[in-house]
Amino acid sequence: MSIQTRQEALIQEFGVSSNWEDRYKKIIAYGKTLPEFPEQYRTEDNRVKGCQSQVWLHAQLNDKGEIEFQGDSDALIVKGLVAVLIKIYSGATPSDIILHPPSFIQALGFEGNLSPSRANGLFSMIKQIRHYAMAYQALQQMQKK
């Protein structure tokens, strides 16, 4: 499933919630679905800078050239946002991640309905995901030479 298709599905899923209280509950529920984050990845290198909460994102390239993300946070809503981003971007190629901006954020009104610190944290997480994608894309290009 492409990133664009995943974003459209997320927009549909959250679009049925008519108010932000329901959307917050859905975001928190997403966070509860995250698998246990391995302790070995709770490093400073995996910590997302720019988040008020503690947030960790770990990425690795699989055999198919797709990036698999794992993440965690110490705050419920932020953990849910991590889960949403993993749902959108995990299993995508580096070039797909780079080519597909997070259009779901504006479509769902995340910017205007999250607190400023959470919105900043969300954008910091996206920035980190894109940095991982750029690094893995450069690595793939080097390996082809």
> What is the chain's Cα-based Rg?
15
- pLDDT tens for 1-48 read 899 999 999 999 988 877 888 999 999 999 999 999 999 999 999 999
pLDDT band at 126 (very low <50, low <70, confident <90, very high): very high
Active site residue 51: yes
Task: Give the active site residue among 10, 27, 51, 108.
Answer: 51
Average of pLDDT values for 120-129?
95
Please answer whether residues 100 and 7 qualify as being in contact, where contact means their C-beta atoms are separated by less than 8 angstroms: yes
Distance CA 140, CA 80 (A): 31
C-alpha distances out from residue 87 to 30, 40, 98, 103, 145, Å: 9, 22, 16, 14, 32
The continuous run of DSSP H or E covering 90 comes out as none
pLDDT score for 111? 81
pLDDT score for 109? 84
Please, what are the domains in the chain?
3-144 (3.90.1010.10)
Average of pLDDT values for 111-137?
92
pLDDT score for 142? 85
pLDDT score for 143? 82
Which residue stretches of 33-115 are H helix? 76-89, 94-99, 103-108, 110-113
pLDDT score for 16? 83
pLDDT score for 81? 95
pTM of the complete model: 0.93
Average of pLDDT values for 117-133?
94
- pLDDT tens for 70-101 read 999 999 999 999 999 999 999 999 999 999 99
